[in-house]
Chains A and B, each alone.
Chain A
Amino acid sequence: MNFNSLRYFIFLPIVIIAYYLIPKRLKNPFLLVASYYFYMCWNAAYALLMLFSTAVTFACGLLSERAGKKRARTYLALSLLLNLAVLFFFKYFNFASYALTRLSFALGFGISFPSLNVLLPVGISFYTFQALGYTVDVYRGSIPAERSFVDYALFVSFFPQLVAGPIERTANMLPQLKKPRAFSFENIRNGLTLFLWGLMKKILIADNLAVLVSSAYNDPYSHSGVQLLFATVCFAFQIYCDFSGYTDIARGSASMLGISLMENFRCPYASVSIKDFWSRWHISLSTWFKDYLYFPLGGSRVKKARHYLNLLIVFLVSGLWHGASFTFILWGLLHGLYQILGLVLRPLKQKLLYSRINENGIVLRVIRVIITFILVDFAWVLFRANSLTDALYIYKAILAIPLHSFSLGPILSLGLELPVIRVTLIAVLVMSAVDIVSVKKPLLEQVNKTVWLRYGFYTVLVLAVLIFGYYGPDFDPQAFVYFQF
């Protein structure tokens, strides 16, 4: 069931009420059952896959802790192999088959490799990485192996973050699952505020922008450079509001159950560099890659060439994690290249610019933010385009826009009426302002301090979603973008 569905609006309060009424010792088993029910609403059979991943990593964790270093490595390898094999089968097999077929034809062998008709299990990339993170942490001795299968299974399958993160760390979440979680009005308040804010981002901003973006990106050849450029800028906000909206709903839901999930976004479009962007965007994934791939490869404590290679590897894998296609791989590699370029140019920038102008001055900061946004948005073309050919066409069309005859008229034929564009734009501005201010002073927490302010805020959010949101019987429900990963 989608977070933005009536079913979830009924499911969540029932779970919350039941959760606080049942005895303490039954809370985790109850949440586990609720989480599996939530997952099985997507596809009942694939719950077995999740159970398999849970069982393998749980067992490997216990065995690894009891074994010596050498045997522990074997259990770690087994856990990685089995889980990544499942991930490969469901997510990458067809892509690998397609790539090998193309390669074979290019080399003149003419072999067609078979493809499979399998559905991608929802959330597999997320829960697999979460479970693998646990296995590695146990192997490293950072945390003790979990003894309770119920608690561990709940850690893997906890429904608010199951299908699209945040990818939680054992050290953050397992202790919370073990602590008593009494009812708290503060948790409900904070959770509900986050939940409604996330819902607004998803239904009012992301889903309205999706109409416009899809109109251009699903048929780029029928659209002008201006339209494609506008759609690309809108996609930056669509994906941000979609994904961060999901995270807010997830964190809000978890908060109402007394569990604090990690922050996944921190005003990413206010980043002053690509490196800064990745410390603010999908934080749980970027820190996962940092801790479990980048550092084991040596990180930055190696020679320069090796450091750059490590960056490329991490971002290549990150691209691949997002999707089994060349566009995602190239997207990841492009970000890797950005990072390398940033490092290469840093000494030059230091010498020519920062020695004369205050690096943290407002003007330079704004310029850096704009440049970073342009670079990130340029990469988003690869992320959103349906194929490499489409992406290349879109780049060509955007770069060929004649500046002397730039006009915004054509954007009105992208499927959204002008009043809807206006309202969505206002919502984007309000959301951005809240995000920017919240970096220093969390605005949403301020709203929670006064009863009347809080309920006034809820009223405005709910009415904005009900009147201006993208939903209804005649609409295709817009799944969260990151559910496809």
Chain B
Amino acid sequence: MKRILSTIAAVILSLAVILSVSYFMASRLTPENKSYGLKWDSFAREEKNSIDVLVLGSSVAYCDIIPAVIYEQTGLSSYVVSGPELTPSIGYYFLREALKTQKPSAVAMEATCVFGKRYQNYSRINIGYMPWSFDRLAAVFRAAEPEERLGLIFPLYNYHTRWPDYTIEEIFSEKPEAEGDPLAGYTFLSEARPQGELTIRERFYTDKEVAFNVSYLKKIIALCEKEGIALELFIAPECRYVDPALIASLSSEYGVTTEITDYNADFGSLGLDLEKDFFDFLHLNAYGAKKFTALFAEDLVKKFSLSPGPNTDASLWERRAAYFNELLDSASKAAQDG
């Protein structure tokens, strides 16, 4: 009996040590997230229930929507909860994770990602930096490429080879605390690349993939309904835009009941300059994003009668707005001097 108990204790202790050391080493060896988009560490530093609008989506969201401008325009606080090549399936789990600490009045989802592949090969970036939770596990098994799953559950699998880059002191030193993101998830791009005429985007995904993406869009819709959150689905202005017929098919063929605002339908009225306001055929630069966000924010408030929540920290948002404007001024000056 004593031997059996010793064995059980030894097994449990061994597993505990192996798992603890593995996950500790994984946390030290995982490279800092230098990609564009949401940094969960920074998001966690936001005051609880202080965000009025969450903006969900892919790189189109974090390039085109500026929280600082939303605040200046409407007084609403917002945060861009998005990642590079984010799929609706990963987006769903992003939203679930974000709603653990925030109770926004509205969620605005940039829906270009619905018209994409099921897997966009960015699971390691998008899911790999999510906080450890059941939602992260669910995202691993339901939204990540099969070949990425092992590394997402067991990050040491992906990053153990980085150990020679560290000294022992570095491994055991205290990790610096994450800072808040002054741009609240937005990615500042100042370069302007002149674009030609507007064309319909070529299709690189199958009907099956759209159906899968729509299934997660419906989950997002249902989640917002359940939480009493207003949901705005929109397609941001793009030079290679999603075929309007495909957008229309979401309701006619896929049964999506929530209306989608396609800003490409009346591109001319947006006041965007094809020469100066685009970073590439899909993304606005900071100048274009400022124009678009102002318009977008007004539409949002009109549609849902939104008003700032009681926990919005005005001084924080003033600082953020000032920071963004400083960035924009510096970029303009540099462009003029250059």
Contact = CB atoms under 8 A, between A and B. Distances in A.
B248 interface: no
Contact of B156 (A455, A456, A458, A467): A467
B198 interface: no
B161 A472 contact: yes
B17 to A, nearest CB: 5
Contacts of A458: 14
Contacts of A474: 161
Which of B14, B17, B25: most chain A Cβ within 10 A? B14
Given A455-B11, A463-B22, A466-B160, 6 more contacts: A419-B163, A451-B6, A463-B17, A467-B160, A468-B160, A471-B157
Contacts of B10: 451-452, 454-455
Contact of B160 (A455, A456, A472): A472
Nearest to A418: B164
A419 B164 contact: yes
Contacts of A468: 160, 163
A454 B10 CA distance: 9
A473 B151 contact: yes
A252 interface: no
Nearest to A421: B164
Nearest to A456: B14
Interface string A418-433: 1110000000000000
Given A452-B10, A455-B13, A459-B17, A417 B160 contact: no
Nearest to B25: A467
B246 interface: no
26 contacts: A6-B150, A417-B164, A419-B163, A419-B164, A420-B164, A452-B6, A452-B10, A455-B11, A455-B13, A455-B14, A456-B14, A459-B14, A459-B18, A463-B22, A466-B22, A466-B156, A466-B160, A467-B25, A467-B160, A467-B163, A469-B160, A471-B157, A472-B151, A473-B157, A473-B158, A474-B161
Given A419-B164, A420-B164, A467-B25, A472 B158 contact: yes
A151 B5 CA distance: 38
B130 to A, nearest CB: 18
B147 interface: yes
Contact-size category for B: 20 to 34
Interface in B3-30: 3, 6-7, 10-11, 13-14, 17-18, 21-22, 25
Q: Which 9 residue pairs are nearest across A and B when measured between Cβ atoms?
A: A455-B10, A419-B164, A455-B14, A417-B164, A451-B6, A459-B14, A451-B10, A459-B17, A462-B18
B178 to A, nearest CB: 25
A456 B17 CA distance: 10
Interface string A229-242: 00000000000000
Contacts of A456: 14
A320 B161 CA distance: 38
Interface string B261-296: 000000000000000000000000000000000000
A474 B150 CA distance: 13
A451 B160 contact: no
Contacts of A469: 160
Contacts of B22: 463, 466
A473 B145 CA distance: 12
Interface residues of A, number: 22
Nearest to A462: B18
Contacts of A462: 18
A456 B160 CA distance: 21
Which of B6, B150, B151, B161: most chain A Cβ within 10 A? B161
B147 A473 contact: yes
A99 B288 CA distance: 70
B24 to A, nearest CB: 11
A463 B25 CA distance: 10
B28 to A, nearest CB: 11
Contacts of A467: 25, 156, 160, 163
B3 A451 contact: yes
Contacts of A451: 3, 6-7, 10
A294 B150 CA distance: 50
Given A455-B11, A455-B13, A463 B21 contact: yes
Contacts of A418: 164
Interface in A405-461: 417-420, 451-452, 454-456, 458-459
A7 to B, nearest CB: 11
Contacts of B160: 466-469, 472
Interface in B148-199: 148, 150-151, 156-158, 160-161, 163-164
A179 B300 CA distance: 78
Contacts of A473: 147-148, 150-151, 157-158
A301 B14 CA distance: 56
Interface in B69-121: none
A8 B7 CA distance: 25
Nearest to B7: A451
A466 to B, nearest CB: 6
A419 B167 CA distance: 10
B126 to A, nearest CB: 16
A74 to B, nearest CB: 54
Nearest to B21: A463
A63 B230 CA distance: 83
Contacts of B156: 466-467
Contacts of A463: 17-18, 21-22
A183 B191 CA distance: 70
A452 B156 CA distance: 26
Nearest to A468: B163
A471 B163 CA distance: 13
A401 B336 CA distance: 61
A467 B157 CA distance: 9
B25 to A, nearest CB: 6
B166 to A, nearest CB: 9
A417 B18 CA distance: 25
Nearest to B12: A455
A467 B25 CA distance: 8
A413 to B, nearest CB: 15
A412 B192 CA distance: 45
Interface in A1-36: 6
Contacts of A472: 151, 157-158, 160-161
Contacts of B11: 455
A162 to B, nearest CB: 26
A289 to B, nearest CB: 41
Contacts of A471: 157
B327 to A, nearest CB: 35
A463 B13 CA distance: 14
B170 to A, nearest CB: 12
A471 B158 CA distance: 9
A240 to B, nearest CB: 24
Nearest to B157: A472
Nearest to B5: A451
A193 B17 CA distance: 18
B140 to A, nearest CB: 14
Contacts of B161: 472, 474
